[in-house]
Amino acid sequence: MEVSWGCTRFVLVLAVGFIFSVAQVCNGGRTSSFVRNDDLSLDMPIDSDVFRVPPGYNAPQQVHITQGDHVGKGVIVSWITPDERGSNTVLYWAESSELKNWADGFVLTYKYFNYTSGYIHHCTITDLEFDTKYYYEVGIGNTTRQFWFRTPPEVGPDVPYTFGLIGDLGQTHDSNRTLTHYELNPAKGQTLLFVGDLSYADDYPFHDNTRWDTWGRFIERNAAYQPWIWTAGNHEIDFAPQFGEAIPFKPYTYRFHVPYKASESTTPFWYSIKRASAYIIIMSSYSAYGTNFRFSLIVVLVKQGRQILVNMV
Q: Which positions lie near ligand NAG, rule CB under 6 A?
A: 44, 48-50, 57, 114-115, 141-142, 173, 176, 180, 206
> Residue 39 or residue 264: which is nearer to ligand NAG going by CB?
39
Q: How far is the CB of 122 from ligand NAG (least distance, A)?
A: 19
Q: How far is the CB of 269 from ligand NAG (least distance, A)?
A: 29
Residue nearest ligand NAG, Cβ-based: 141
Q: How far is the CB of 245 from ligand NAG (least distance, A)?
A: 13
> Residue 89 or residue 263: which is nearer to ligand NAG going by CB?
89
Q: How far is the CB of 213 from ligand NAG (least distance, A)?
A: 12
Q: β-strand 191-194 against 228-230: which pairing, if any?
A: parallel
Q: How far is the CB of 175 from ligand NAG (least distance, A)?
A: 9
Q: How far is the CB of 94 from ligand NAG (least distance, A)?
A: 26
Cβ-contact 293, 310 below 8 angstroms: no
Cβ-contact 166, 197 below 8 angstroms: no
> Residue 12 or residue 50: which is nearer to ligand NAG going by CB?
50
> Residue 97 or residue 243: which is nearer to ligand NAG going by CB?
243
CA distance 63 to 232: 19
Q: How far is the CB of 48 from ligand NAG (least distance, A)?
A: 4
> Residue 102 or residue 260: which is nearer to ligand NAG going by CB?
102
> Residue 58 or residue 234: which is nearer to ligand NAG going by CB?
58
> Residue 50 or residue 71: which is nearer to ligand NAG going by CB?
50
CA distance 271 to 181: 29
